[in-house]
Amino acid sequence: MTDLSALADEYYAYAMSLSPLDLMWDGRLEHLAEWNDVSVDGRARAHERLMAFAAAAQGIDTGDDLQALALRDTIASHARSTALHLAWEPELLHLNPTMGAWENILSFIDAFPLRTASHGDDYLTKLRHLPRFLDDLLDVAEDAADQGRVALERHLLDTARAAESYLREAHAGEDRLCAQAPPTAVDDAAQAEWRRERDRVVAEVVHAGVARFADRLRRLAERGLPDERPGLVHLPGGAAVYRDRMWSHLQLDITPEEVHALGLAQVASLEDEYREVAGPLLGTDDIGEIYAKLRDDESLRYTRAEDIVRDAESALARAEAASPAWFSTMPQARCLGHATDFGAMAYYSAPVPSTGKEGDFYFKTADPHAWATYELEAIAYHEAIPGHHLQFALHAENEALHVVQRELFSTAYAEGWGLYTERLADEMGLYSSDLSRVGMLSADSLRACRLVVDTGIHALGWSREQAIQYCLEHSPLDRFHIEQEVDRYIGMPGQALAYMVGRLEILALRAEAEQRAGFDIRDFHAAVLGYGAVPLSTLRRLVLA
């Protein structure tokens, strides 16, 4: 166990250094002054070292020690997943307008709990180096385009437009990159000086870099792929890269064809539930009419941001009150709801006990009409309580786990749990109406369609419009949301598969556990959440042990 602990310590330190961009999600202060090394050589070195970590972990015999098994498999799977994920990341994921680097920067640039003068210095260094990071991204992307590997034209243009929109707002006096609060442990004079330097760096250094970023994106877009060929399968070597990306998110050996068929079956099975739950509310059992009414009825749309805030906070309060009956341990960290104008429609940022940061559930209110009223509750239960907040906060606070298990990420485990809790919330009686239960079905439709569409795009050669039309025909989502979703799948191959695949595995585990004498749902949830972000194959061994 000593060798395993030492390996885990070494791996954690290395994993944390690899992506300062990802650390922004949780406002982490480690590697604060840095940005990702996106160079070809840098990623090649990272790949080699990550695979060495994976091999070292796999070579350790853990015997009957379940905690050691969980730690070993977490290191091995996370290292291999991260290594496989590095290929083509700068030119595809980081330039995606929906989930790429620029959107990530705007979403979290002010989320750091700066305390000391050193923190403040590191943050200013981060700002000064931002233009170089953006230049590095475009250097890699332009070289990749020379090799026939480039993002969609529309995605490159949309990212350029987002950067240009930021500059217009900044010049009008609303500079998003000047939103970070100064360090709290310095005096008022030092805080004022820090603000002045922050604003100067942004105005004199960062703005020019962002303008150059947008200009280079527009020129690169002239070589961008058309909407008819958005998938990896159209790129040299893309089919193999897609299989690697699938494994990196699922950590299961499963083919695109198998996932595609699973998705078709899930989409079909949901139709009966729509007829049962939504049919009486909408006065029809025709599935096409049900989808159309849910999509087009203006009375089912929000019109005010404050109503979204009210309903999100109400859902969180109900979930918080009901959860102790279903979970033997509740986290000490709170989950706080925040309206935001940036990023995805909803997302979660985990607590960081070392800094006192709470869990944060963000929901986008810039365009209230983009939300259907029936959607919000299911999303709140997924992202916050009993979803990601119970998962990540309980991990973060569990000192029996190595920090590798507390903090590192497994997509299928994490998102499988989030989707599992949308249905669990129904068992818990959390949905405020039958219409909100329809939102649970709508969320299921999205995740089922993802299995079909992600594999359709990246393995079967679907066009962007073909993917959009499939989702329109098999879910109640409106075109605006579907376009955002499809653009996300194009830029993040394989990630969207993790939700339904992970949920189905957790449900299969629960079904098997329920057949055993003395089954208790609180014990089951404690077992699922008790070992950190383990791969699904290991979770089965741990829970059923």
Contact 322, 381 (CB under 8 A): no
Helix (H) or strand (E) holding 292: helix 287-296
Q: Which residues contact 40 (CB under 8 A, 6 or more apart)?
A: 140, 143
Question: CA-to-CA distance for 545 and 541, rounded, in angstroms?
Answer: 6
- Residue 98: C-alpha distances to residues 21, 153, 457 (Å): 15, 14, 17
What pLDDT, on a 0 to 100 scale, did the predictor assign at position 504? 97
Could you check whether the bond before residue 386 is cis, i.e. omega within 30 degrees of 0? Answer: yes
Residue with tokens 């790429």: 100
Closest to 74 in 3D by CA, of 394, 527, 408? 408
Q: Which residues contact 286 (CB under 8 A, 6 or more apart)?
A: none
Distance from the Cα of residue 75 to its chain's centroid: 20
Question: CA-to-CA distance for 210 and 169, rounded, in angstroms?
Answer: 13
- Strand residues in 177-311 grouped as ranges (E): none
pLDDT tens per residue across all 545 residues of the chain = 569 999 999 999 999 999 999 999 888 999 999 999 999 999 999 999 999 999 999 999 999 999 999 999 999 999 999 999 999 999 999 999 988 999 999 999 998 999 999 999 999 999 999 999 999 999 999 999 999 999 999 999 999 999 999 999 999 999 999 999 999 999 999 999 999 999 999 999 999 999 999 999 999 999 999 999 999 999 999 999 999 999 999 999 999 999 999 999 999 999 999 999 999 999 999 999 999 999 999 999 999 999 999 999 999 999 999 999 999 999 999 999 999 987 778 999 999 898 889 999 999 999 999 999 999 999 999 999 999 999 999 999 999 999 999 999 899 999 999 999 999 999 999 999 999 999 999 999 999 999 999 999 999 999 999 999 999 999 999 998 899 999 999 999 999 999 999 999 999 999 999 999 999 999 999 999 999 999 999 999 999 98
- Strand residues in 276-432 grouped as ranges (E): 335-340, 346-349, 359-364
- Please state, as a whole number, how many other Cβ atoms lie within 10 Å of the Cβ of residue 283: 9
- Domain map (residue ranges) of the chain: 2-228, 244-298+373-544
| Terminal C-alpha separation, the chain | 20
At 84, list the tokens. Answer: 């496989």
Closest to 385 in 3D by CA, of 360, 410, 353? 360
Phi, psi of 16 (to 5 degrees): -65, -30
Q: How many helices (H) and strands (E) does the chain have?
A: 24, 3
What pLDDT, on a 0 to 100 scale, did the predictor assign at position 2? 63
Can you give the pTM of this predicted structure?
Answer: 0.92
Three-state secondary-structure class, residue 346: strand
At 328, list the tokens. Answer: 């033997």
b/e sequence 310-347, b meaning 16+ C-beta within 10 Å: ebbeebbebbbebbeebbeebbebebbbeebebbbbbb
At 89, list the tokens. Answer: 């990341």
Q: Pairing state of beta strands 359-364 and 346-349?
A: antiparallel
Question: CA-to-CA distance for 66 and 285, rounded, in angstroms?
Answer: 49
Contact 413, 250 (CB under 8 A): no
- Please state, as a whole number, how many other Cβ atoms lie within 10 Å of the Cβ of residue 429: 10
Three-state secondary-structure class, residue 168: helix
Phi, psi of 460 (to 5 degrees): -105, -5
